[in-house]
Amino acid sequence: MSSILEQPHHTPSFGRMGNSLALVTGAGRGIGRAIALRLAEAKIPVVLVARSDEGVTALRNEIVSNGGIAYACPCDVTQIDEVEALVSDIPAEVGQVNILINNAGIAPSAKIEDTTDEMWRETFAVNVDGTFYLMRALLPQMKQSGGHVISIASTAALQGFPYTSAYTASKHALLGLMRALSEEMKSTKVIFSTICPGFARTQILEESILQTMARGKTREESEAIFATMNREGHIIEPEEIAETVLRLISDSTQSGLIYHANGSIIP
């Protein structure tokens, strides 16, 4: 993998954010991939972050082939040294990250008695620790020039669901972290927004659908179960969330708000 500086670069202007550079975690697939594609379509250069080199490299090539600017940066956000190296390796010639999309996440499912220490720790490491490490590394520079931090949480950040104790607890923690930082940095020009979508069409949901089908349901019946649990009445497409992200970056001026997948505010 070439360094960021060896990849084609420039920093075009975008709306009120001025010279923008976005960093998206979990960009190799699902919601993160959709967000990265939408930002690139809007002429925002994107740093693509995921554990796997293959996913972000393929996405970078797709974005570049369509005239966008993207940088593939494999990184395990649960590892402090990798996060710090990632941030320090973004040179001034590429730009300064002023849009951070915290999207990386995992969603294990198990009864509480079957939730292992390893499962609990890994869930918090990906869903909370990685977000904390990135914000701690990037916020000092964002405080100086302004920016927008958007975290993709879940309806599990707002209520409890059975067999998801680790996941639900981690998403509550993520929302709490965003709320705390919004208060801590309310005198700065950094905006904090949290999106709490319901069930979205991702690999995580696909695994849940297959588990339901294994218990005798058809795919149509299985998808209907999850769709009816969403306030929208349908399984959310990643592109819906991506559109909300772009709209928040473009228009939002109030920090600390929580949003549904379609961008409506959660009181």
Confidence band (pLDDT; 50, 70, 90) for 93?
confident
Instruction: State the pLDDT at residue 202.
Output: 92
Per-residue pLDDT, 5: 45
C-alpha 121/C-alpha 140 separation (Å) is: 27
**Rounded CA Rg of the chain:** 18
Q: What's the pLDDT at 18?
A: 53
pLDDT (average), residues 191-205:
94
Kindly tell me if the per-residue pLDDT of 2 is higher than 70.
no
Q: Which fold has domain 4-198+237-259?
A: Rossmann fold (3.40.50)
Write the CB contacts of 80 (distance below 8 Å, at least 6 apart in sequence). 133
Residue 16: pLDDT above 50?
Answer: no
Q: Give the pLDDT score at 15.
A: 41
Residues carrying an active site annotation: 167, 171
Does residue 1 carry a pLDDT above 50? no
Provide the token pair at 29.
């697939």
According to the model, what pLDDT value does residue 68 have?
97
Question: What number is the average pLDDT over the span 145-171?
Answer: 96
Asked if the model's pLDDT at residue 11 lies above 70, the reply is: no
Contact residues for 251 (Cβ-Cβ < 8 A; gap 6+): none
What pLDDT is attached to residue 203?
87
Least confident range of 48-52, 112-116, 173-177, 229-233: 229-233
Structural domain spans, the chain = 4-198+237-259, 200-235
Q: What angle do CA 167, 200, 73 make, to 5 degrees?
A: 75
**How high is the pLDDT of residue 7?**
55
